[in-house]
């Protein structure tokens, strides 16, 4: 296929999207081949046809981290970490997010002389990031301003941000502080100057609360389809008398959405802010059979889980970070021998390595891909593993 003209005027200069010049049909084909190739290299027997789910190739993101610099806000320049490209509209962000970006630009223009942007080279300055989030299916949005905690000019910038809070259409405005020697856009040092630090999303009638400083899927429409797909996989089994273990469960996106299919559900997550949200989501959705606990999946106790699930049928959903599951977690899963493991992966290459370990006891029954990140090289994979008889 011939290259196409990218719709974004910053393409090639901005370090974000890398595939806008590639026809979307070809992007999907390339991603599918990437995943299948990784599985072949690991010696995994491929199932039948691999489904590829996709939605809108643009205007899908519900979160963007914009960097402040002397001329405004933008993204890092491609190949130059310390250079910023001014961006006034992001073509892969949803419309509400772009509206909030325009409000940040307007605020910056009116206060340009008073704003002290952070310089990543010198580690000096005050204002670092504008983290903008705008839910797709719920009227929930937030702008988090990230400040350098070492700056002596924080107080003046807090007053400026309060003035933004008075005029913005964002439901929530948050201030977070990070150390000058770190380069992150979220923090455990935060407070709201408007609204709250929590946002909401809704997937097929399930209300999900998440933290402004925590993780949530960046593509709401495709994340909802992924939840619905997992439901369709599990509906093939009789689960009313079975237990669900949701590992790396975050705010409970999968566990809370699927708990009604099971006798009981345990959501395990290592990030305290996410567990707070998971517990709120359990209560908000009136789930009497679901519990959320703060735990590191690598430290799962063999005895505690063996005792908990003794004599019970067990199903597992695991959605680890890009680094994958810890070897100890893989070992525990093999010891627990759940009937079905649904492995959700944002790093199919790592998933392929771990499926090779699980192949001792499990067969890859089905595989599906979800393009949560159009115009990039990233793709999400869902592998259904059945215990060998």
Mean pLDDT of the region 306-324? 89
Q: Identify the CATH assignment for 63-203 out of 3.30.930.10, 2.40.50.1070, 2.70.70.10, 1.10.3720.10.
A: 2.40.50.1070
DSSP string, 303-360: HHHHHHTTTS-EEEEE---TT---HHHHHHHHHH--SEEEEEES-HHHHHHHHHHHTT
What pLDDT shows up at residue 304? 66
Model confidence at 302: pLDDT above 60: no
What was the pLDDT predicted at 301? 62
With vertex at residue 300, the alpha carbon angle to CA 277 and CA 274, rounded to the nearest 5 degrees, is 10
Which stretches within 128-271 are classed as H helix? 154-167, 220-234, 253-258
Give tens-digit pLDDT for 156-190: 999 999 999 999 999 999 999 999 999 999 999 99
pLDDT of 298 over the 80 cut: no
Alpha helices for the chain (secondary structure H):
24-41, 95-110, 154-167, 220-234, 253-258, 272-284, 302-308, 327-336, 348-358
Spans of all domains in the chain: 26-56+219-387, 63-203
Quick: pLDDT tens for 85-118.
Answer: 999 999 999 999 999 999 999 999 999 999 999 9
The pLDDT value recorded for residue 299 is 66
- The pLDDT, as a whole number, for residue 372 is 97
Distance (Å, rounded) from C-alpha 19 to C-alpha 191? 37
Rounded CA gap, 384 and 363, in Å? 8
Query: What per-residue confidence (pLDDT) applies to 32?
Result: 97
Query: Phi, psi (5° rounding) for residue 252?
Result: 95, 25
Q: Which residue has the tokens 């489904």?
A: 51
Q: Is the pLDDT confidence value at 13 over 70?
A: yes
Q: Kindly state which CATH superfamily the domain 26-56+219-387 is placed in.
A: Vaccinia Virus protein VP39 (3.40.50.150)
- pTM beyond cutoff 0.85: yes
Count how many residues are written for the chain: 389
Report the pLDDT value the prediction gives residue 79, as an integer from 0 to 100: 87
Task: For residues 215 and 204, give the distance between their C-alpha atoms in angstroms, rounded to a whole number.
Answer: 20
H/E stretch holding 292 reads: strand 290-294
Which of 267, 266, 264, 246 minimizes the C-alpha distance to 312?
264
At residue 61, the pLDDT reads 97
- Evaluate whether 26-56+219-387 and 63-203 have a shared fold: no
| Radius of gyration of the CA atoms of the chain, in A | 22
Residue 306: its pLDDT value, please?
A: 65
Cα 234 to Cα 33: distance, rounded to the nearest angstrom:
26
Helices (H), 63-173: 95-110, 154-167
């Amino acid at each position: 296929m011939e290259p196409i003209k990218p719709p974004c005027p910053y393409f090639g200069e901005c370090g974000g999207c890398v595939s806008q010049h590639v026809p979307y049909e070809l992007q999907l084909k390339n991603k599918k081949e990437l995943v299948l190739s990784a599985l072949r290299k690991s010696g995994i027997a491929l199932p039948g046809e691999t489904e590829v789910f996709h939605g809108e190739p643009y205007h899908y993101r519900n979160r963007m981290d914009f960097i402040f610099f002397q001329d405004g806000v933008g993204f890092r320049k491609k190949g130059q970490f310390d250079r910023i490209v001014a961006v006034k509209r992001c073509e892969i962000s949803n419309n509400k997010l772009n509206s909030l970006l325009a409000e940040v630009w307007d605020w910056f223009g009116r206060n340009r002389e008073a704003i002290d942007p952070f310089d990543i080279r010198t580690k000096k300055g005050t204002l670092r990031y504008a983290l903008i989030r705008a839910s797709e299916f719920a009227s929930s949005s937030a702008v988090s301003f990230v400040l350098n905690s070492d700056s002596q000019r924080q107080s003046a910038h807090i007053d400026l941000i309060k003035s933004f809070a008075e005029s913005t259409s964002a439901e929530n405005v948050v201030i977070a502080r990070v150390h000058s020697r770190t380069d992150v856009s979220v923090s455990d040092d935060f407070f709201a100057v408007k609204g709250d630090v929590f946002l909401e999303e809704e997937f097929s009638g399930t209300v999900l609360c998440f933290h402004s400083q925590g993780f949530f899927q960046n593509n709401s429409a495709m994340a909802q389809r992924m939840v619905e797909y997992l439901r369709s996989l599990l509906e093939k089994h009789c689960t009313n008398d079975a237990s669900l273990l949701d590992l790396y469960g975050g705010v409970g996106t999968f566990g809370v959405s699927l708990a009604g299919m099971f006798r009981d559900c345990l959501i395990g997550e290592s990030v305290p802010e996410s567990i707070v949200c998971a517990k709120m989501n359990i209560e908000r959705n009136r789930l009497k059979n679901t519990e959320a606990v703060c735990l590191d999946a690598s430290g799962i106790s063999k005895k505690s889980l063996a005792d908990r699930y003794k004599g019970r049928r067990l199903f597992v959903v695991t959605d680890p970070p890009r680094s994958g599951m810890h070897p100890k977690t893989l070992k525990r899963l093999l010891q627990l021998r759940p009937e079905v493991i649904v492995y959700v992966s944002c790093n199919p290459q790592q998933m392929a390595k771990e499926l090779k370990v699980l192949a001792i006891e499990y067969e890859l029954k089905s595989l599906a891909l979800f393009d949560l990140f159009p115009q990039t090289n990233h793709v999400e994979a869902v592998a259904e593993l059945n215990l060998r008889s």
